[in-house]
Amino acid sequence: MADIHVSGLSKAYPLARGGERLALEDVDLRIDSGEFVCLLGPSGCGKTTLLNILAGLDRPDAGSVRVGDPDTATAVTSYVFQEPRLLPWKSVRANLRFVLDRADGADERIDYWLERVGLAGRGNDYPRQLSIGQRQRVAVARALLIEPDVLFMDEPFSALDELTASRMREELLGLWQELGCTVVFVTHNPMEAAFLADRIAIMSPGPGRIVREYRVSEALPRPRDADDARLWEVSRNVVSVLKGRSSGQRA
């Protein structure tokens, strides 16, 4: 069990000239164990700030966050950043080994995950020998290698060409369905959110709040087809909420 419970979360950053800028204001969010939720909002609305707080990389000024089992509040979590963030002086294999506590069986696990992300046989390459898409595949393998309960992803495919990105979205859905982990996926791309999410939490421009939750699974059962015209419909609805023009659909 790894659900997420966020209540009354606020966060401000100090400004260089004094005072502060509110990045998040009174954010409430609940995510069920095994759910795939996209946080969608315009650039600067606080998506990364919220994700970092959920992942424990940053602290809120107010409010509470619980990730994981309600009794113990523990969960194994992983994070895929917008850039691969691999260690350039280590081989792909060594980058993956780096996140494992114990060496026993590491090579088999690494080979398994390299194959799962389409990089079989590339373990001895260095990051510079891989394309940006391949490097991001290594980052996904690194995140999944530790078998997380919760996977945080911050616009992980936004630097990739659309063809590569759409292939990786499909592969991610396959892995998620197999692993059963909870996914919190940040994006500014409504079509991407429509294709991936069970539910889209739509954020307002800064200071970020969750203005609407859109339950995609009702409109689009799985498995989804990236060419399904209903994706556009979901995307249009979400965009009109982003533009503040629609009553949308409340979860």
Applying CB under 5 A, which residues contact Mg ion? 47-48
Nearer to Mg ion by Cβ, of 182 and 187: the residue is 187
Task: Point out which residues pair with 24 in neighbouring strands.
Answer: 11, 208
Q: Is 23 in the site for ligand ADP (CB under 6 A)?
A: yes
Residue 71's region, left for phi above 0, alpha for psi from -120 to 50, else beta, is alpha
**Hey, which residues between 72 and 131 contact ligand ADP (CB under 6 A)?**
none
Radius of gyration of the chain measured on its C-alpha atoms? 18
Q: Where are the alpha helices (DSSP H) in the chain?
A: 47-54, 92-97, 106-116, 132-145, 162-179, 190-196, 216-219, 230-242
How far apart are CB 188 and ligand ADP at their closest, in Å?
A: 7
Neighbour count for residue 83 (Cβ, 10 Å): 14
Among 8, 28, 43, 251, binds ligand ADP (CB under 6 A): 43
Nearer to ligand ADP by Cβ, of 49 and 237: the residue is 49
Question: Which option in Mg ion, ligand ADP, none does residue 64 bind, with CB closer than 5 to 8 A by kind?
Answer: none
Which residue do the tokens 């996926």 mark? 185
Which residue do the tokens 């079989």 mark? 120
Residues near 229 by beta carbon (within 8 Å), at least 6 away in sequence = none
| Region of 28-36, 39-47, 157-165, 193-201 interacting with ligand ADP (CB under 6 A) | 39-47
Question: Which option in Mg ion, ligand ADP, none does residue 49 bind, with CB closer than 5 to 8 A by kind?
Answer: ligand ADP
The answer to whether 24 and 46 have CB atoms below 8 angstroms apart is yes
Nearer to ligand ADP by Cβ, of 138 and 139: the residue is 139
- Total interface residues for ligand ADP by CB under 6 A: 12
Site string for ligand ADP, 167-206 (x = CB under 6 A): ---------------------------------------x
